[in-house]
């Protein structure tokens, strides 16, 4: 086995909350009169809530916004997003992802989450994975967002494994950069795989079993 542990991004890897992020940001951007589309949304993958807002505001040309107002806008987005999350259930965890996770565990690998999201706990609960992972490092225990490696280094530390023994799984280019900056190998799916940002660029989650 090449690795001792696998650290998974959550949104866009374990489950597909990215459409909900898009819909919530789209509503907020429309309210602000700021142009927003799916290409811009791709730039928000892996990026923290406040950094995402700054990207959205690149297309905002209205009155200057105070720090307090920006905080309110981010909270508004999060409220809309959490309403969408209520629709999630164990049906949002695919058989492929669940079976692959179980197989990886059977093979003796430690499994962790490394997500920028402050909603990680809620999402894991909704999809029935609460308590499944050996460690959860998320937006609540970091001060620097991806592409900074902090979230993955903390996950490796919680697992008690060296970064070089960990494989990061990501759908975001910023997340792949974060894994590399932390001295980890990276397997990419989705957008980051299309952009060939990983050491392994996969087309299906189950292909992880071929590379570990
Ligand atoms: C990441 C998403 O997982 O979490 C980003 O890819 C999102 O799009 C970030 O901005 C922060 O999420 P939250 O749930 O803390 O607003
Ligand atoms: Mg992601």
At 7, is the secondary structure helix, strand, or coil?
strand
pTM over cut 0.85: yes
Q: What is the mean pLDDT of residues 160-165?
A: 98
User: In terms of domains, do 115 and 193 share one?
Assistant: yes
User: In terms of domains, do 108 and 10 share one?
Assistant: yes
The Cα–Cα gap between 161 and 171 comes to 23
Residue 175 has pLDDT above 90, yes or no: yes
Tens-place pLDDT, residues 98-115: 999 999 999 999 999 999
Catalytic-labelled residue, pool 11, 18, 138, 148: 11
Catalytic-labelled residue, pool 9, 18, 148, 171: 9
Peptide bond into 105 cis (omega under 30): no
In the reported structure, the alpha carbon of residue 46 is separated from the centroid of ligand 2 by a whole-number distance in angstroms of 5
In the reported structure, the alpha carbon of residue 62 is separated from the centroid of ligand 2 by a whole-number distance in angstroms of 30
User: In terms of domains, do 24 and 48 share one?
Assistant: yes
- Structural domain for 57, as ranges: 18-85
User: In terms of domains, do 39 and 112 share one?
Assistant: no
The Cα–Cα gap between 184 and 8 comes to 12
User: In terms of domains, do 79 and 117 share one?
Assistant: no
User: In terms of domains, do 78 and 47 share one?
Assistant: yes
Residue 207 has pLDDT above 90, yes or no: yes
Tens-place pLDDT, residues 6-25: 999 999 999 999 899 999 99
When the pLDDT of each residue in the chain is averaged and rounded to a whole number, the result is 97
In the reported structure, the alpha carbon of residue 156 is separated from the centroid of ligand 1 by a whole-number distance in angstroms of 20
Tens-place pLDDT, residues 102-157: 999 999 999 999 999 999 999 999 999 999 999 999 999 999 999 999 999 999 99
User: In terms of domains, do 142 and 122 share one?
Assistant: yes
At residue 18, the pLDDT reads 86
At residue 4, the pLDDT reads 98
Cβ–ligand 1 distance for 44 under 6 Å, the answer: yes
Residue 162 has pLDDT above 90, yes or no: yes
Q: What is the DSSP string of 30-93?
A: HHHT----HHHHHHTTT--HHHHHHHHGGG--SS---HHHHHHHHHHHHHHHHHHHTT--GGGS
């Amino acid at each position: 086995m090449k690795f001792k542990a696998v650290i998974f991004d959550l949104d866009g890897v374990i489950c597909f909350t990215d459409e909900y992020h898009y819909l919530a940001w789209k509503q907020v951007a429309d309210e602000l009169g700021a142009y927003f589309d799916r290409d811009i949304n791709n730039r928000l993958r892996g990026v923290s809530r406040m950094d995402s807002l700054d990207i959205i505001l690149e297309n905002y040309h209205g009155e200057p916004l105070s720090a307090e107002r920006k905080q309110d806008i981010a909270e508004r987005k999060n409220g809309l997003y959490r309403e969408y999350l209520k629709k999630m259930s164990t049906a949002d965890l695919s058989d492929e992802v669940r079976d692959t996770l179980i197989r990886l565990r059977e093979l003796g690998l430690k499994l962790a989450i490394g997500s920028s999201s402050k909603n990680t706990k809620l999402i894991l609960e909704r999809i029935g994975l609460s308590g499944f992972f050996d460690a959860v490092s998320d937006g609540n225990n970091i001060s620097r967002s991806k592409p900074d490696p902090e979230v993955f280094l903390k996950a490796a530390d919680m697992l008690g494994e060296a970064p070089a023994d960990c494989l990061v799984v990501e759908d975001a280019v910023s997340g792949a950069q974060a894994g590399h900056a932390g001295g980890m190998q990276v397997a990419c799916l989705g957008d980051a795989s299309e952009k060939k940002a990983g050491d392994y660029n996969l087309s299906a989650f189950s292909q992880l079993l071929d590379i570990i």
